[in-house]
Amino acid sequence: MKTIAYQQCINPNCAATFDVGQTLTACTGCGELLDINYQWNKAALPKSLREFQARWQNRRFPLDYSGVWRFRDLLPFASDAMVCTVGEGQTFLQNAVCLGRHLGMWPGQLWLQYEGMNPSGSFKDNGMTAAFTHARIVGAQRVACASTGNTSASLALFAAMNGFQGIVFIGTGKIAFGKLSQALDYGARTLQIEGDFDTCLARVRQVSGQLGLYLMNSVNPFRLEGQKTIMYRILEALNWESPDWIIVPGGNLGNCSAFGKAFFELRELGLIKRIPRLAVINATGANTLHELVAGGLTWNGGNVNQAAITEHYKRMERDGIHAHTVASAIEIGHPVNLKKALRALHTMNGVVAQVTDEEILEAKALIGRFGFGCEPASAATIAGLQQLLARNIISRHERVACVLTGHGLKDPDATVYYHTGVNTKQAKQPEAQATWGHMSNQPVKVADDLDAIVQALGLDKNTLNNSRSTGYVPTPVELPFVEY
């Protein structure tokens, strides 16, 4: 007996099922989101998650090398021959000892899952490999997405490497240049339409339905199957023990939804004892999930209070509220996976917090200062952790894994602006403004002259050859010693 995969409506009152050979982004009956579900053949599954780790040593077999497909038994909807892989998911969980100590946590308890190491520089590759595999199964040739940037970068890369035509819809002026440069370089047809991300996505859903483009946004349930593996890799790095908390930024809420599904299934399959708690972090300028959950909205066994959601969106429209945050990857007002996110919060006993742009940029600088680059949206995790520690929702002794969703070089403008006050997006540069970043690290203007350089470095010319004698301390952060 083989494990059978099928698509299923998440609404328990409908629960309609569809063949995996169909291309759908919503239930044709009731319009709700779809899951990929499985009738598991448990006998064919590894008895323990440990069996997966051995596969990684098999570096020459692309499916074993992939950080997604070496877990293929847990997303078994495709035959090996159909898989579109570009070596995604070679990411690692880094023990952020110094940063954890700086935040007052117990030694060794803070971990950062560095998804910026993916081929296109964000976690999106985990989902894109699964959705492209499905696109290949159904014979699609043109693939499309609306994007705040990283989805389009990932789509463009996978399209270029696997022989699809990539089509990308971006909003006006909202995209970080690192991301736009990728979509252009990988040859995606890039359409910049007026409006924000929410407008873009609504349009691309309409256009793709009418023109038969295969839609790669996270309403595509196959995306989320690939993104489950981020959790498997975190468990693997922790010797298959659950951390106490998973923290993730929330934009369209596909990632947190995938995490909840991953743990729900692992528990169902008897492969895990304890499910970690989930913290989803919104930016205050794009806080739909936070507002609705704070107002009491829950999964409620699948009977989500739709009236409360509709009412919230009406209020946003009436008040002219559009998503606005420096963390462009989570600048989303109408998160399409909202209901799945509520379900994930239920599965993982989760919480939602919101953090300001300033908190995000300070957290990003802190992450950077301890040696991990990430883009602003990713830093919402550490800003959220700081807040949840202060509110005693997370305890200092608990083990926390934050997902750093995107690479630091995705949005260098945000970083340069933080440190120098120079806004690279302005054509004519004014003299650099006073910076407001607390950890601002400005380049120092210095004459092309030895004495001037020595002075700028705070060195003593007489002891220049003695590298231990410098009193130079380049940082406003106190680097703590580590004790075990």
Q: Which does 76 bind (CB under 5 to 8 A by kind): Zn ion, ligand PLP, none?
A: none
Q: CA gyration radius for the chain?
A: 23
Name, in order, each residue with C-beta under 8 angstroms of 93's C-beta and a sequence gap of 6 or more. 111, 112, 113, 114, 233, 234, 237, 238, 401
Stretch of residues binding ligand PLP (CB under 6 A), selected from 15-23, 297-305, 308-316, 372-380: 372-380
Within residues 117-176, the interface with ligand PLP by CB under 6 A covers 122, 124, 150
Q: Least distance from C-beta 8 to Zn ion, angstroms? A: 9
Stretch of residues binding ligand PLP (CB under 6 A), selected from 373-381, 413-421, 433-441, 456-464: 373-381
Does 269 participate in binding Zn ion (rule CB under 5 A)? no
Stretch of residues binding Zn ion (CB under 5 A), selected from 6-14, 154-162, 188-196, 309-317: 6-14
* Residue 38 three-state SS: strand
Q: Least distance from C-beta 325 to ligand PLP, angstroms? A: 11
Consecutive H or E run containing 368: helix 357-369
Stretch of residues binding ligand PLP (CB under 6 A), selected from 196-204, 250-258, 391-399, 451-459: 250-258
Does 221 participate in binding ligand PLP (rule CB under 6 A)? no
Within residues 91-120, the interface with Zn ion by CB under 5 A covers none
Name, in order, each residue with C-beta under 8 angstroms of 86's C-beta and a sequence gap of 6 or more. 119, 125, 129, 157, 158, 161, 162
Q: Least distance from C-beta 18 to Zn ion, angstroms? A: 10
Q: How far apart are CA 330 and CA 176, in angstroms?
A: 12
Name, in order, each residue with C-beta under 8 angstroms of 268's C-beta and a sequence gap of 6 or more. 40
Does 330 participate in binding ligand PLP (rule CB under 6 A)? yes
Cβ distance to ligand PLP smaller for residue 23 or 378: 378
Q: How far apart are CA 106 and CA 118, in angstroms?
A: 29
Consecutive H or E run containing 294: helix 288-294
Q: Select the residue whose beta carbon is closest to ligand PLP and give its number.
A: 406
* Residue 301 three-state SS: helix
Q: In three state form, how does the secondary structure of 107-166 look?
A: CCCEEEEEHHHCCCCECHHHHHHHHHHHHHHCCCCEEEEEECCHHHHHHHHHHHHHCCEE
Name, in order, each residue with C-beta under 8 angstroms of 320's C-beta and a sequence gap of 6 or more. none
Q: How far apart are CA 77 and CA 257, in angstroms?
A: 19
- CA contacts within 13 A on the Cβ side of 366: 24
Does 33 participate in binding Zn ion (rule CB under 5 A)? no
Q: Least distance from C-beta 178 to ligand PLP, angstroms? A: 11
What values do phi and psi take at 260, rounded to 5?
Answer: -60, -40
Q: Which does 287 bind (CB under 5 to 8 A by kind): Zn ion, ligand PLP, none?
A: none
List the one residue from 166, 250, 276, 285 that touches ligand PLP (CB under 6 A).
250
Does 304 participate in binding ligand PLP (rule CB under 6 A)? no
Q: Please give the size of the binding site for ligand PLP, defined by CB under 6 A.
A: 18
Stretch of residues binding ligand PLP (CB under 6 A), selected from 246-254, 263-271, 423-431, 432-440: 246-254
Residue of 116, 5, 133 whose CA lies nearest to 63: 133
The two structure tokens encoding residue 283: 């930016």
Consecutive H or E run containing 167: strand 165-170
List the one residue from 89, 221, 226, 406 that touches ligand PLP (CB under 6 A).
406
Q: How far apart are CA 262 and CA 459, in angstroms?
A: 54
List the one residue from 5, 7, 9, 263 that touches Zn ion (CB under 5 A).
9
Q: Least distance from C-beta 459 to ligand PLP, angstroms? A: 40
Cβ distance to ligand PLP smaller for residue 66 or 381: 381
Cβ distance to ligand PLP smaller for residue 254 or 276: 254
Does 218 participate in binding ligand PLP (rule CB under 6 A)? yes
Does 281 participate in binding Zn ion (rule CB under 5 A)? no
Q: Are 11 and 27 in contact (CB under 8 A)?
A: yes
Does 16 participate in binding Zn ion (rule CB under 5 A)? yes
Cβ distance to Zn ion smaller for residue 8 or 435: 8
Does 24 participate in binding Zn ion (rule CB under 5 A)? no
Contacts with Zn ion, residue ranges (CB under 5 A): 9, 11, 14, 16, 27, 29-30, 32
Contacts with ligand PLP, residue ranges (CB under 6 A): 122, 124, 150, 218, 249-255, 329-330, 375, 377-378, 405-406
